[in-house]
Structure 1
């Protein structure tokens, strides 16, 4: 169990981000242990074929993400410093990690580390250069083709969490975040099997990082000097690899029309027009037209996240779906 004590300042310093680097690192667990990550099987099959065809050797990365994974070295996944980090900038930050931090992370990893760890400990600078080259090759082949759909889900999750924080503070924010996470008496509790510690955040706040490949687990960074970070699966994770399979509630479809009912059913988490088109099999133009009608009826609201417009169900739509599902 990890226990983090919040002050008022820590609540004010809660921030949201997502990280291409985190996705790359945590996705290695899915590749190595598909049985524990069955949700990601469509991606696992594609990624394995692509890596084999491109002859990408990810040995250094595999050595630092052993299975079972009780710890991933913090220098490999530093907390993101901006809401939407640039992948190249994240890798540059890893290459700049101080040698003592690299060795401290390897020491915590212990005997689980593979042979690459010895070279990394002996010469952190050249080892980190080799490691980031490996992560880059892995990203380009295995993850970059799917990044738009992953990013859309993460952007929607951040919009949802920010709204929860604005509406009800930390208690509402963490209330439905993950079954292993709870918040009570100004303390955040994260149930870990192999990690038991407590600390005060001391005004440093907390970074919340939704991650597709974190599913079904949660990950944390709590060791100094890093900013405390919580990595968790976003809402709507079950839809991430689906294509054209959505079906809205039959009763609601009879009233609203099948296309609009399907779109409402998909908006478990906020999503863009492009993402909804991919999930439902409708054209982007058709999705945009139906969303416009749903907005006019007060069933959908739009929020801009950077260059993307995300659509979310309103409370009225949630109530309609709940009634329809109970029939």
Structure 2
């Protein structure tokens, strides 16, 4: 059980963002335990050849058998929507002692010994750190960035948009209650109850936020909320993002015939897809068409009052309006 105690001003320094590096590292869980993450199966299969051209034993060893991860590989984001390279630079700057400590803590908590090649490199943490950085960069560039990340990013952006609305409408209690079943909020204390007996073995932890800010990070490869292993690290909670099933989508969504006849098949398809907010680029990737083609249809649907537009960072997210929902459901 973990408790995060909030002072008067701590909610003002609580924020939500996603982390490209965290998603890259956590995606390795899907290889370690594919049954837990069925929405990743077609993706891991699609990049298998590229993955095998990398240092696969080292990448596999970055995740323990029970899918624990050394803390230094997923540093707390220090900016909204950080770039992968900026986060990887934080990993590259990790003190050698912390590299060893975090690997040992992850495998000790898991109850398994560190495998090769990690075990033999713990006596040379500078080399271990350098190899982790090099292989994570290659994994990102060859396997994740070309097609997976555009789809993943749109799901994460949709989660941020939803959480922002939730916080605005229902405050902290509504936000935390909706993140994950393991989280509860009462009298200024956020409590995380993890059912994993190995996590419980770490003992209770009471962490004052104390002006350091709590960062909430959605992930596409997590089945429940969890926090960092080291109690001295600044407070962070990762939680399952909404809409992760969209990652596993392979067959096109069913478009009602009447809707297609009314507004045309391309626009009907977009309206059906926009049950969750998405950007023009993400929709183009999903439909395998040009962003320009998608943009024209989105503009027409927005002008007709079927979509809403919300700016999120550098992107504009489109979502169905109440009228769009009703039209898709066939209730108008």
TM-score normalised to the size of structure 1? 0.85
Pairing of 1:36-75 with structure 2 (within 5 A): 36-52=36-52, 55-69=53-67, 71-75=68-72
Q: Hey, what's the Cα distance between the residues in 2 that align with 1:223 and 1:176? A: 25
Confirm or deny: 8 A CA contact 1:75 1:101 kept in the other structure: yes
Which residue in the other structure is 2:5 paired with? 5
| 1:205 matches 2:213 | yes
- Cα gap change, 1:294/1:183 in structure 2, threshold over 3 Å: closer, same or farther? farther
Give structure 1 stretches of 5+ with no counterpart: none
Which residue in the other structure is 1:174 paired with? 176
- Among 221, 226, 238, the alignment partner of 1:231 is 238
- Once the two structures are TM-superposed, the CA of residue 315 in structure 1 deviates from its matched residue by 4.5
Which residue in the other structure is 1:121 paired with? 122
- Cα gap change, 1:6/1:264 in structure 2, threshold over 3 Å: closer, same or farther? farther
Give aligned pairs, total. Answer: 321
- Among 280, 286, 289, the alignment partner of 1:279 is 286
TM-score normalised to the size of structure 2? 0.84
- Once the two structures are TM-superposed, the CA of residue 218 in structure 1 deviates from its matched residue by 3.2
Confirm or deny: 8 A CA contact 2:32 2:63 kept in the other structure: no
Confirm or deny: 8 A CA contact 1:277 1:284 kept in the other structure: yes
Q: CA RMSD in A?
A: 2.8
- Cα gap change, 1:244/1:277 in structure 2, threshold over 3 Å: closer, same or farther? farther
What does the per-residue CA deviation read over 1:293-326, in whole Å, with 9 as the maximum and x for residues that have no partner? 33234332212233321112334545666x648x
Give structure 2 stretches of 5+ with no counterpart: none
- Once the two structures are TM-superposed, the CA of residue 40 in structure 1 deviates from its matched residue by 1.1
- Cα gap change, 1:281/1:139 in structure 2, threshold over 3 Å: closer, same or farther? closer
- Once the two structures are TM-superposed, the CA of residue 74 in structure 1 deviates from its matched residue by 0.7
- Once the two structures are TM-superposed, the CA of residue 94 in structure 1 deviates from its matched residue by 1.0
Which residue in the other structure is 1:98 paired with? 95
Which residue in the other structure is 1:25 paired with? 25
What does the per-residue CA deviation read over 1:163-184, in whole Å, with 9 as the maximum and x for residues that have no partner? 3223332123233323333333
What does the per-residue CA deviation read over 1:4-42, in whole Å, with 9 as the maximum and x for residues that have no partner? 222332211111222221112111110122122111111
